[in-house]
Amino acid sequence: MHLALVRHGQTDWNLAGLMQGRADIPLNATGRAQAEDAARRLDPADWDLVVSSTLGRARTTAAILADGLGIPVAGEYDGLIEQDFGDADGTPVSEIDERWPGREFPGKEPDAAVGPRGVRALERIAVEHPGARVLAVAHGTLIRHVLAELTGHDASSYPRLDNLTVSRTRRADAAWQVLTVGGTPFDEVLPSLSPAEPGRSSRASHDRPGASVAISERSCDGPVTPSRRGPTRAYDPEMEAPGSTTLVVVGEETSAAIGSLAGLANVESATFADMTDATDAEVATWSVTSRAPFVVHDRDPLGHVASAWVEFFDERSTLGVLQLEIEQAVGAIARHEVRVPDYYVVLEPESLRGTWMHWWLGVVAAASPNRVLPWEPGDAPLAGLIRRLPTARAWPDVDRWLPGVVRAVPDRFGPGLPGAA
């Protein structure tokens, strides 16, 4: 498929030079005229549909393009929304560096989370509109981070994108290739780009124009964090500490539950809620190289599959998205990029929203009933629960049971999935 990332038209905040992130500022008259002009310049024969972020300036731009080209608007995607600049929203750009040296604004979405979020949106568009030629109206900073994620470069080295500039990409054989950046061929932009920082997730090599990348590693949204143990890589099973048992804690308030384990000599624990730049592969490497008898954290390696399953049965996503997430998870496990834990500890399961409770106590528990442990904080200390657990090995047959979750309806509890233990 071909997908072009288009920056929305001008707003009054753009004109005034103000930081503009999640604030929903509408197009001004110039912005509307820019979108109308772009529709006249684009060839209707080249495009099948338009999608956009959920912010009004992108949605209006998309509607104008669609009307001018005679093609439909086919959806809005939260993943295409602009980076959240927190307290800096509405601040003159000229004052930013003086007020916040290093541009670390209170409430800011971490830079490292923006690109992976945008790429997941592109993958979802590709699944929901296979083979289509798509105009995706989004936002300047988001687009730069997505392009950088695809090519393995530092987003800050990408050039500023003017309103209604078009950056073209192509997806073939589950890989994305960047063709143009704001209308300029990628090979002309490449010499000015800087490689991503060491240790950051990289989805492409840097040494050729239009670098393509198969989508596999993803950063997850995931507050105490572990020490970093080197660059992103697949973990080596030979490094795995014998006898260590890994638990992933899921549900609400995981930070408090894991924090209660601090100081225990036989437990190494960490939370990743604020550590969005830690990749799944880094978490897996940290986990398997620990020498503690128990390793406890809250980064679920199947989190993307769980979210896709819940959204599918809540009628907020498609079967194709769920199948894609399953395929990527099985592949990542086979390549040792992630590691399924020995146990899941489900905090206060009765408080979980219905479909999520069915996922943990139905689907996952069906695959291995003794590996999913409901836990109410009032029952006993989490440390006591851990001490009573037998040591265990991670599930070896995820590729057998995980594809079957597409047939696991939310109201079904207990065994019954293919390959269930």
φ, ψ of residue 17 in degrees (nearest 5): 75, 40
Choosing from 2, 36, 76, 82, which is the catalytic residue?
Answer: 82
CB 32 within 8 A of CB 187: no
- 82: annotated active-site residue: yes
d(CA 382, CA 267): 11
d(CA 17, CA 89): 11
Burial pattern 66-75, b for ≥16 Cβ within 10 A else e, equals bebbebebbb
Question: Could you list the active site residues?
Answer: 8, 82
